[in-house]
Amino acid sequence: MTKKRPGMNIGAAVLFAFFGLLFFVLIVRIVTIQVTGEAEGKALASQAAKKYIKSGILEAKRGTIYDEKGEVISEDTSAYTLVAILDSSITSDPKNPKHVTDPDKTASVLSKYIDLSKSEIYERLTIEGDPFQVEFGSAGRDLTHQLMQKISKEELPGITFRKESKRFYPNGTFASHLIGFAQKETLDNGNTKTIGKMGIEKSLNEFLSGTDGKIQYKSDVWGYLLPNTEEHVTPPKNGNDVYLTINKKIQTFLEEAMNEVARDYKPKKMFAIVADPKTGKILAMAERPTFHPDTREGLDGNWRNMIVEDTYEPGSTFKSFSLAAAVDSGVFDPNGYYESGTYDVLGTLIRDHNYGNGWGTITYLEGVQRSSNVAFAKLLEKIGEEEFKDYLERFGFGETTDVGLPNEASGKILYHYPIEKVTTIFGQGTTVTPLQMIQAETAIANDGKMMKPYVIDKIVDSNSDKVVKQTKPEVAGNPISAEAAKKVREYLATTVTSDVGTGRPFAIEGYDVAGKSGTAQIPGENGQYMYGRENYLFSFIGMAPKDDPQLIVYVGVQQPELPVTEIGSVPVSKVFNPVMQNSLKYLNIKPEKKVDLKKLEMSDLSGEKVSEAVENLQKKGLEPVIIGNGSTIKKQLPAAGEEVLEGEKVMLRTEGQLTVPDMKGWSVRDVFKVASVANLKLNKVGNGYVSSQNLRPNSPVKENELLVVNFKAPDAPEEKPIENESMPQD
């Protein structure tokens, strides 16, 4: 029998003691955990919950922005992000792989659908470091449902999609600076949220943003929902919906017209507003340069909403309110006369826009029609400097309109020195915003009641359909009386209908337009006014129909590239005219019945006495023009038997010494009549209407003598600087 060695007993004793102690510690640890429910200072229940209780974010829908008719302008929509799974461990069945198995083929197919080359996609699919998955940057984000389906049909292993919401602007470039845009941002807690970054999206972000919900449930170790497990759901609260005053149809008219002018004339800047003068609602608003809110293409060129945030010198459109002040204060006599040309302000000459030549002694109404700076300078004397400033303040200039848009500018009434007071009355020096001009114009259009402009109609809780906020029309003041407003509309209408009116390009068939054009100077980088035929802000503010205005349209085009045959009012009219006409028809404002001018057949006046011929022609509504100093008619134009329209000029050449009439303001057609009936050689210079002639009116001339006539558009600005003199503005 083998005898046990003493060392073996000692070793067995040590092992027994060691395992006994280990067992004791384990028992103590188990008892401690059972009693305290904690391990290493952490609650085991919470750790188990973290492992087996899963939670997720239920994303709230951002509020939708609608136009006044309920048409969608901005909304949340589903978008997809393209994801490629690269980790092979996710594949359990090699016959049905869940990861990318053929990077070359996958890259080739995907390059057909997203804006990345095959090589760029392949590089991402074979990236070093063994990532679980990769994405494809901006090219793989914001994919439409249709595109996602097309890629899915390719059945590429490992290619999947992550669904999320995206802000969508279905109308593209559409009041972009007003609407602004919103985009997703990653918050501090790692979640993403759509945030307004500009325009209405930013200023009403608090209303549009919703509150995300949450879902919580128990899962197994692999993350799957356990059967018969209760889900805890906190539903999301969607954002409020915003209804604007913008009318989608009218806004579309405006965008299309501005696109054409931007393409054809390439102006540095351009803005336009359409408003309802009865309520102050802004029905359309646009500017150039602009941007696409989905892609943000073009945003680098212009972040500012110039209609709200920028100020400028308005030019002669401002004379609308100067005229209103003169009429309301009772000092405007349309039939009163004044000497046009120049006006001295303590040594500084104010000049009319035809190089200070003026048009001789004319009526104040003709001064308004011709946009005479001198006429308005003289009206300031009649109104009184302090009373005129009071009118400017009553019209809201120098103060914001509180339209509810961020960063609204107030402009400034420049009215310290005598020259500033005079230049202000015809729109130079004092600065305004387009919204201030619209607000002031509502007083003229709305029988003296000036309406506060607004763009937010109402805000509605999308969860309950309860109106959270409602904007109602608000009278901002009564700067002039109803009687004065009606008279001002009549006078402004003549700038469009008169042969010498600067507003003639803005006449619209079927509707009487009342308004005022402007050619405003632009300060250069050195603070001095710029010169050159294109370096102006050309504009027109008008309303229609004249007797009961339903719309106001204000258009400004800065520094367009003009053909030599066109003037600045042409691109302005290419926005104003179609927008006004189409919008009135859309609103079912029926055109006035066209009144056809009476047609007459010319009788033979040869041999008749001049006095008798003149009397007979005037009775028929024709305008006789005597060419010569004789007493008997020798020749006439139009000739006997020809048809003439009521109001047409009839040239009557007499026997005796030949003379020519004063043709200032005449059309080309009438000048040709004079040259033909007098047998003169005509040299025509320029376009538009007669500004000067070489042959002195009513002085003797001879047949075959050269008649040089300069034509110029009434609103064509002076091009050369004149030292120590106010530059002209029409």
Q: Would you say residue 631 lies in a domain?
A: yes
Q: Would you say residue 98 lies in a domain?
A: yes
Q: Point out the domain boundary residue: 547, 565, 586.
A: 586
How confident is residue 30, by pLDDT bands cut at 50, 70 and 90? Answer: low
- Considering the domain architecture, whether residues 576 and 645 belong to the same structural domain is answered as no
For residue 514, give Cα distances in angstroms to 74, 510, 549, 593. 35, 13, 9, 18
Nearest to residue 573, comparing CAs of 586, 588, 562? 562
d(CA 358, CA 351): 8
Please list the alpha-helical segments (H only) found in 339-458.
Answer: 364-369, 373-383, 385-394, 418-425, 434-445
For residue 673, give Cα distances in angstroms to 501, 654, 684. 22, 15, 13
d(CA 314, CA 357): 24
d(CA 516, CA 556): 12
- Considering the domain architecture, whether residues 350 and 483 belong to the same structural domain is answered as yes
d(CA 275, CA 550): 9
Amino acid identity of residue 166, one-letter, is K
- How confident is the model at residue 224, as a pLDDT? 46
- How confident is the model at residue 49, as a pLDDT? 46
Q: What residue has token string 């011929």?
A: 613
How confident is residue 666, by pLDDT bands cut at 50, 70 and 90? Answer: confident
3 has a pLDDT exceeding 60:
no
Handedness of CA 108, 114, 117, 119 (dihedral sign): negative
174 has a pLDDT exceeding 90:
yes
- Considering the domain architecture, whether residues 396 and 526 belong to the same structural domain is answered as yes
- Considering the domain architecture, whether residues 119 and 62 belong to the same structural domain is answered as yes
- Considering the domain architecture, whether residues 658 and 555 belong to the same structural domain is answered as no
Q: Point out the domain boundary residue: 200, 217, 244.
A: 244
DSSP code, position 175: S
Range of the domain at 575: 248-586
* Tokens found for residue 268: 């540095």
- Considering the domain architecture, whether residues 545 and 419 belong to the same structural domain is answered as yes
Q: Which residues, in sequence order, are bridge partners of residue 689? A: 712
CA 681 to chain centre: 49
Q: Would you say residue 630 lies in a domain?
A: yes
Q: Which residues, in sequence order, are bridge partners of residue 693? A: 709
Q: Would you say residue 729 lies in a domain?
A: no
Indicate the SS3 state at residue 95. coil
CB 274 within 8 A of CB 250: yes
What secondary structure does DSSP assign to 120-148, as a single string? HHHHHHT-TT--SEEE-GGGGSSB-HHHH
Q: Which residue has the higher pLDDT, 313 or 702?
A: 313
How confident is residue 615, by pLDDT bands cut at 50, 70 and 90? Answer: confident
- How confident is the model at residue 197, as a pLDDT? 92
Lowest-confidence pick of 263-267, 630-634, 664-668 = 664-668
Q: Which residue has the higher pLDDT, 225 or 106?
A: 106
- Considering the domain architecture, whether residues 135 and 271 belong to the same structural domain is answered as no
Indicate the SS3 state at residue 545. coil
d(CA 186, CA 451): 42
Quote the mean pLDDT of the chain: 87
Taking the alpha carbons at both ends of the chain, their separation in whole angstroms is: 135
- Considering the domain architecture, whether residues 133 and 116 belong to the same structural domain is answered as yes
When computed from its CA atoms, the radius of gyration of the chain, rounded to whole angstroms, is: 39
Residues 6+ apart with CB under 8 A from 40: none
Q: Would you say residue 276 lies in a domain?
A: yes
Nearest to residue 480, comparing CAs of 353, 626, 320, 590? 320
Q: Would you say residue 35 lies in a domain?
A: no
Amino acid identity of residue 133, one-letter, is Q
Nearest to residue 489, comparing CAs of 421, 418, 441? 441
4 has a pLDDT exceeding 70:
no
Please state whether beta strands 348-351 and 725-726 pair in parallel, antiparallel, or not at all (unpaired): parallel
Indicate the SS3 state at residue 319. helix
- Considering the domain architecture, whether residues 489 and 579 belong to the same structural domain is answered as yes
Nearest to residue 312, comparing CAs of 377, 407, 409? 409
How confident is residue 718, by pLDDT bands cut at 50, 70 and 90? Answer: very low
- Considering the domain architecture, whether residues 416 and 334 belong to the same structural domain is answered as yes
Handedness of CA 643, 649, 653, 654 (dihedral sign): positive
Residues 6+ apart with CB under 8 A from 256: none
d(CA 725, CA 531): 14
- Each residue of 554-570: pLDDT tens digit? 999 999 999 988 999 99
What CATH number corresponds to the domain at position 106? 3.90.1310.10
What CATH number corresponds to the domain at position 700? 3.30.10.20
- How confident is the model at residue 186, as a pLDDT? 75
d(CA 46, CA 221): 15
For residue 300, give Cα distances in angstroms to 106, 114, 142, 195. 36, 25, 21, 19
Nearest to residue 674, comparing CAs of 628, 610, 620? 628
Count how many Cα atoms sit within 13 Å of the Cα of residue 386 in the half-sphere of its side chain: 0
d(CA 213, CA 347): 74
- pTM, 2 dp: 0.75
Q: Point out the domain boundary residue: 586, 612, 647.
A: 586
Q: Would you say residue 50 lies in a domain?
A: no
Amino acid identity of residue 384, one-letter, is G
Lowest-confidence pick of 184-188, 279-283, 311-315, 715-719 = 715-719
CB 258 within 8 A of CB 307: no
* Tokens found for residue 121: 């996609």
Q: Would you say residue 546 lies in a domain?
A: yes
Strands (E), 276-363: 282-288, 337-339, 342-345, 348-351, 361-363
Please classify residue 672 by burial: count the beta carbons closer than 10 Å to its beta carbon, then call 0-12 exposed, 13-18 middle and 19+ buried. Answer: middle
CB 409 within 8 A of CB 305: no
- Considering the domain architecture, whether residues 576 and 487 belong to the same structural domain is answered as yes
d(CA 672, CA 248): 48
Q: Which residue has the higher pLDDT, 354 or 384?
A: 384
For residue 289, give Cα distances in angstroms to 46, 261, 377. 57, 12, 36
What CATH number corresponds to the domain at position 411? 3.40.710.10
Q: Which of 176, 209, 316, 498 is catalytic?
A: 316
d(CA 520, CA 599): 41
d(CA 542, CA 544): 7
- Each residue of 230-245: pLDDT tens digit? 556 778 899 999 999 9
d(CA 278, CA 444): 11
- Considering the domain architecture, whether residues 456 and 377 belong to the same structural domain is answered as yes
d(CA 387, CA 389): 5
- How confident is the model at residue 7, as a pLDDT? 60
Please state whether beta strands 232-234 and 514-521 pair in parallel, antiparallel, or not at all (unpaired): unpaired
* Tokens found for residue 135: 């994405």
221 has a pLDDT exceeding 60:
no
* H-run or E-run covering 254: helix 248-265
How confident is residue 593, by pLDDT bands cut at 50, 70 and 90? Answer: low
Amino acid identity of residue 660, one-letter, is V
Report the number of secondary-structure helices (H) and strands (E) in the chain. 20, 36
Q: What residue has token string 């102050």?
A: 280
CB 330 within 8 A of CB 300: no
What secondary structure does DSSP assign to 444-490, as a single string? HHTTT-EEPPB-EEEEE-TTT--EEEE----EEE--S-HHHHHHHHH
How confident is residue 89, by pLDDT bands cut at 50, 70 and 90? Answer: confident
Strands (E), 179-248: 181-186, 192-198, 213-218, 232-234, 241-244
309 has a pLDDT exceeding 90:
yes
How confident is residue 473, by pLDDT bands cut at 50, 70 and 90? Answer: very high
48 has a pLDDT exceeding 50:
no
* H-run or E-run covering 200: helix 199-203
How confident is residue 699, by pLDDT bands cut at 50, 70 and 90? Answer: confident
Q: What residue has token string 């003639």?
A: 504
d(CA 281, CA 662): 48
Range ranked top by mean pLDDT from 22-36, 89-103, 498-512, 687-701: 498-512
Active site residue 78: no
Residues 6+ apart with CB under 8 A from 39: 33, 47
- How confident is the model at residue 723, as a pLDDT? 34
Domain total in the chain: 3
Q: What residue has token string 């955990």?
A: 33
Q: Which residues, in sequence order, are bridge partners of residue 218? A: 53
727 has a pLDDT exceeding 70:
no
* Tokens found for residue 449: 């009641």
- How confident is the model at residue 236, as a pLDDT? 83
- How confident is the model at residue 642, as a pLDDT? 86
Nearest to residue 160, comparing CAs of 95, 80, 82, 78? 82
Strand ranges across the sheet with 706-712 = 681-686, 706-712, 689-693
